[in-house]
Each structure stands twice: as structure tokens, then as C-alpha cells.
Structure 1
Amino acid sequence: MTAPLRALLGQAHTTDATRARDSRRALGTRRRIPLVLCAATAWLVFVLLHRALSGRVWWWQVPELVPPLALAAVPVVLLAAALAMARRARRAAAAVALVSLTLGGGASGLNLASLWHRAAPAPPDSIKVFSWNTWYWDQPVGGTMPPPTGTPARDVAAFYRYLHAQDADVLLLQEYVYFGADSRPIRVHDLDRLRREFPGFHIATASEMVTLSRFPIVLERGLGPRPEDSRDTPVPPGSDWPGFYTVKTLRTDLRIGNRTASFYNSHISSPVDPSAGGLDLLSLGRTQHEARQADLRALAADIQANPLPAFLAGDFNVSPAMGILRLVPGRMADATPALRSLYPATWDDRWPWWRIDWAYTTQEITVHEYRLVRSNGLSDHSGQRLVLSLSR
């Protein structure tokens, strides 16, 4: 065989091998493309269902437990995967990922406004407010009443030092309650110590909320479900404290100078039945869902009928991914933009996962400062500290 012929045959062999290799690569690419597109489409379907069902039907409560950040992170990962694919399928997969990011990203808990929002300086007569879920007041950590042998004791002095350190004019505190070994709520009788610790403060209580204020309290009222919603709030048979289950917001109207403003201290029912003793997915039933709706409807009805400037804060037991937040009336504006955190998280305070504590104001109130205060082991919630002012 002549040298030119051998060269020609070698070139043909090389060309055939290259074509075969390119064909295998193209086949592999075609196989990968549908996987990314199918994943992006499946996630978009989930986002659409979540927007339609979350907060509206009780049987969507398990999907509602999706970590909020996933609503932004998953489409971003899918978008990156789509951009690595062949050009023809890239556009379809990328478009689907972008649509799911657009529709779901707002419920991810990301506070993009923190990148550009700059609050106005606080005036001299500003009001310092602190809201905090105390984790069963000064009950032994993670314990019951009476506490089991070996249960770590709560440092009560540290508890009050923490409250004093907030230097607040108004304190909105939740879980002013103990729990017995049978998950039965037990009233706390600590008003005498509160008066000693906060001389000159006015104090109001309702259910398991307590509000302390330097300003005179001219009205205090616990808010429970409307008659048409009362059937949705479960009260265990034989309970000696039904108000614990039916009253989940304490409204106090405070006289601040020559103005009066309403402060709402809320602890919305948990999606998990408290008798379950933990995150039991089987307890995510209709009863708790309807109780949460009743809590928020009672709150919304009072706010809508209230002509006064209003501030609302507390433990809502609602992550940014849960659609039940839409029951907060439109009159209230979320104070989140004033937070200097891109991903604010209040629970669990030791290893923060997401946010379930919130603050809202009406347009007559300006938020000058808003930050989350770690509880240093005193609670499983971070506190919320805000500096406000009333418009002139």
C-alpha cells in the first residue's frame, strides 16, 4: 500500500472516529436536556400550586414547610444547569426556571430591599419597641412544670437582664405561660416582679401575651375569633384556661404625647398541634389550619376597624413561604425593608433557619431602625428591636 493511500485511509478513520464521538456526545446531551427541562417544569408546577393553595387549604401544610430559601435557590440552580445545555433546549429550560424564580422568589425570605433601603434618622421623641417570644417565660429550659429531674434551670436574672438591655419604651412579649407534663398550659403569675423590674411601666396581659409600656395604656383588649370563626378554634374539653386557645393577640392603645396609637402583640397558633410535643407531620391537620386562620381574621377585623396609627409585631409561626400571611390586612406595611439583613431569620435562634417573627406598621408610623437581637440561649426565637416615630 502506498504512503498516500495509507494517509488517506488514516484520515478517513480519524474522521469516522470523530463523528462517532461527536454523535455520542450529542446523544448524551439530548438525554440530559429533558432531565433539566423536566425538573424545571416540575418545580414550576410546584410553585404554581403553592401560590394557589398555600394558606387556603389545610392539606397543603406539609409542602408549606419547604425552606423558604429553596424558592429562590432551586430555580437558580436549574437556570445554571440549563445554561450548560445545548442551545436549542437551553432557552426552554432557562425560561421555565426564570418564570418559577419570578413567581416564587418573593416568598423566599430574601430581603433584597436591604441592598438599597436607607431609613431616615430617628427624631429625639422616637419610640423604642422590643418584641420577643420568651420560650415559656422563665420556665426551665426545654422543661415542663414541675421540671423533670436534671432539667437545666433557666437563669432568671439573665432573663431580666436581657429585657433591660433592650432599653425599650414598649415591650411586646409572648409565651407568658408555663406548660405541664401533659402539655397543659399553666398561667404565670409574675406581675409583681415585672412591676419591681420595670418601675413606672404600665402593664397589660391577655392570654399568654404581656405588654409593658412607658406610656399610659388607655385601652387593652384581647382579640379572639369572630362568632362565625369561633368553631375553628379548638379548646380541649375541661380546660381551665380557654382564653389561651382563643385569644392570640393583645391590643393596647398607648397615649404618646398628644397622640394615641395601637400596639398589637400577637402569637398566632402554630401549624403543629401543641399536644404533639414536637414537629409531628400527622398533627398538621385541618384543626390547626383553621385555628390559625381564625387568629388572623380576628386580628385583621380589629385593625381594619381601627382608625388609629397601629404597630403589629410578634411570633406569627409563619415562614415567608406560607401564604397565610396574605390575611394580614393591606393597611399594614411590612417593616422588613428596614432590616439590614439580606436573609433575616428569627428561628431557631441557635441555628437560624428562617423567619417566623414579623413586624408591620400603618403609614402614619415610620420605622427608623429594625434589627434582630439574638437571645443568647434564653429563647429559641430572636427578638425584634425597632425604633419608630409617629408622623406629625
Structure 2
Amino acid sequence: MTPFTYVALPSRVIFGFGTIARVAEELSALGAARALVLTTPYQTGNGEALVHRLGALAVGLFSNATMHTPVDVTEAAIRALKEVDADCVVALGGGSTTGLSKAIALRTDLPQIIIPTTYAGSEATPIIGETSGGQKHTQKTLKVLPEVIVYDVDLTLGLPAGLTATSGMNAIAHSVEALYAKDGNPIIAGMAEQSIAALARALPKIVTSPGDRDGRSDALYGAWLAGACLGSVGMSLHHKLCHTLGGTFNLPHAETHAVVLPHAVAYNADAAPTAMECIGRAVGASDAADGLYALGRSIGVPQSLRDLGMPEEGIAHAADLAVTDAYWNPRPLELEAIRDLLRNAWEGKPPQASR
């Protein structure tokens, strides 16, 4: 066995069906009695229901969580938090709501309970990305790691097929890059392959039968593993590209991951053969990039950055940004090759090994 270092993240995880009923007792266990519930505008109704369920333990609802965690939205949420003298935040939703919760924790050190309703996986990480001035900046700190994560499979049963597919591919991206991370280790590699396999098995089933409880359970479990991988080891080119594209062009987060992933994997294929074998095995394909592309097509995720609203003239700029303050990557970052990668992703072509 090759020597390695593994750091476990100190979160309490509750997984099952109907587990939202345990949020009140988790608040009490944290010593919290005045929770501010967070959601997106789309989830306002669910947020109101949670406030009602918590009764006196909830002191308000902030329902303006926004994609890419804009700093001005965070500042508005903190003003709302101070107005009700909250001592905890409870975030109900996907990556946007989790991002807002983390941004609040970063600034206030208040405890967090996260209740994911998508497969983003960010709830399991000590990583936060915030957007200001048209750029997205990320940092890693235990201050933003939630104290408690409550996974309730029932809350994902109504997730639309399209969002299920893109959110699931976003989660797969975390595990894919964990397999060739600079600080990877065999524990994370095992979790990553298991995560990809669970999601690749579940997503086609769910898209066809959204109420499939076994499929939903597998997908949520795979997403948690993906988040744990993302939080434990460093990410590479794929995540740098997606952060760049999302922050610069305001592209939708999960959809951008879904489009870029096969192309980033093709770029790194020759430099990370062991990782490619694991990915291929997990998705049931001889070629990792082709297998991920085929999985995405089979579940109906977007195929091109053009369809997400990225302007063609932004390709060169995005490539320049990707090699600025670059993340470590198994293959050296070559500007022309990254431009080719982005061109293929913009046009929606199948992944091609970059020159």
C-alpha cells in the first residue's frame, strides 16, 4: 500500500426517508433556539412549511438565495439574520441555498443545518465559492463546513427530471476529479468510484421514473459521497473551468458542469490512466470521456455551452482565465489546447483528446 494522508471532515450526517422530522431535535442538540431558514425564491413554499414545522425554534425565512452566491445577497441575508437575532441557519434547497448558508457561517460563525434537495454535494464540503464584480472566488475553510447534514430522500422525489440529471452530473464531476487529485488517497478513490457508479446507475432510472425511491436513494447517497470527495481533496481543470464560466458569464452551475465534464476528462485522459479506468468501470464504458458523454446524452443534459448562453467570443477570454491562478492538474495547462476544449464544449461536439 502506498503511504497516504486522509483527513476526515467533522460533520454529523443523517440519511434516510422522512428525516426532515429530526431537524428540531438537531437544533436542540446544537444548543440553538432561533433558526433562520434559508431557501431560494422557488423553494419559498417549502421554506414556509419548514418554519411552521419548527414552530418556536424558527424566527424567520430568507428566501432569496441566488446561484453563484453573490456577495450582495449574502449581505442582505445577514441583515435579515441580525433583525431576528438568529443563532443558527437551516438551509433547505440545492447548491445556491447551501452556498448562502456557508457565506453566512463564514462571516458569523453561526452553526448550520443543511437539508439538500438536489445532488449538488457542496453541503459535505468546507469549500465556498462567492461571486463579486463578475468573478467567482473560492476558498477552503472549516468555518463553512455544516455541523449537521440531513439527507431526506423524500425531499428529492419531486425534483424535475432535468434538474435531477444536471445536478447528478455535477456530483459525478466532484468524484471524477477526486480520482486524479494531487492529494488523492485510496480511501477517497474508493468513495469516488462508488459515488460515480451509484449515480450512473440511478440517474437513467430516475429520469424515466422520477418517483423511483431506490433510484432516488442511490443518487442522494452518491451525491453525499461526491461531496465528501470534493471536500477532502483538491480539484483540477474541470472545476476551474466551471468556476470561470459560471462567474464570468453567469452560466447555470450544474448545467455547466454537465457540459464541460466529458471534455475536461478527455483533456486529462493520457495523464491519469488509473483514474480513467475507475471512471470507465463505474459508468460501464471502455473510454471514460465517451462514457460520461453518453451518460449525459442518455439523461438529457445540455450538450453545449452555446445552449447555456455563453457567447462565442468568450471562449478565448475563458481560456485565459483558466490558466490564471490555475488549479493543479495532472496534465500541464496548455492555452491552445484549453481553447480547443472550450470550443468543442461550446459547439456541443463529442469529447476529443486535446492536442
TM-score of the superposed pair, with normalisation by structure 2: 0.26
Higher helix share: 2
Report the TM-score when normalising by structure 1: 0.24
Larger radius of gyration: 1
Higher percent of residues as strand: 1
Higher normalized contact order (CA 8 Å, seq sep 6+, divided by chain length): 1
